């Protein structure tokens, strides 16, 4: 159960990271339609704090996407760079669908665990150093167990929290 939960959390982490990246690339794809308009918005905005809201209004993108677009280096604002980045969208969508499928199907999680364990076994495999004994031989040494004397006692619990056993002879 612990390993299943670890794999599930790892897959969920990867899923959220890919969703975030896809979200940013969707915003970049909207900018691709009119790169000159984006440059004009950035250039004509007087205050730096107003660049992101102006990009949001100009292209209908959210704040995170606008910050991503605003942080792109000037040399990367060209059609080739943006097309290369947006070509990852389809691959990301396929990866996200696969990760969602893994989270929904426990059998796929178990297959991942099996695959990881076989890789570990291949990498760190060593012969067993100890020997397993299924039928333990009985000792024939005739050593008797210590016999505990059986006699009556009285047990007292003191104020300090100690237990004292006193035989009846001492109690007199």
Neighbours of 20 (CB within 10 A): 11
Which segments of the chain have a pLDDT < 70?
A: 137-144
Torsion angle defined by CA atoms of residues 84, 87, 92 and 97, in that order, rounded to the nearest 10 degrees: 180
- Residue pair 147/46 in contact by the 8 Å Cβ criterion: no
pLDDT tens per residue, range 70-109: 887 777 777 777 778 878 888 999 999 999 999 999 999 9
Instruction: Find all residues with CB under 8 Å of 112, minimum gap 6, and list them.
Output: 7, 102
Token pair recorded at residue 70: 């605003």
User: In the Cβ-directed half-sphere of 43, how many Cα atoms lie within 13 Å?
Assistant: 7
pTM of the full structure? 0.64
Angle at 160 between CA 156 and CA 164, to 5 degrees: 25
Token pair recorded at residue 91: 């691959």
């Amino acid at each position: 159960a612990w390993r299943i939960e670890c794999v599930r959390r790892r897959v969920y982490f990867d899923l959220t990271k890919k969703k975030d990246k896809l979200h940013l690339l969707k915003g970049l794809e909207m900018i691709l339609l009119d790169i000159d308009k984006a440059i004009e918005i950035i250039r004509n905005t007087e205050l730096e704090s107003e660049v992101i809201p102006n990009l949001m209004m100009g292209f209908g993108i959210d704040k995170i996407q606008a910050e991503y677009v605003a942080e792109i280096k000037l040399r990367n604002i060209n059609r080739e760079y943006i097309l290369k980045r947006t070509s990852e969208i389809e691959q990301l969508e396929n990866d996200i669908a696969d990760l969602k499928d893994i989270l929904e199907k426990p059998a796929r999680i178990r297959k991942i665990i099996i695959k990881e364990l076989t890789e570990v076994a291949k990498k760190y495999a060593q012969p067993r150093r100890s020997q397993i004994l299924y039928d333990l031989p009985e000792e024939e040494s005739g050593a008797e167990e210590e016999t505990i004397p059986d006699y009556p006692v009285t047990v007292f619990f003191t104020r300090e929290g100690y237990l004292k056993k006193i035989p009846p002879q001492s109690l007199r």
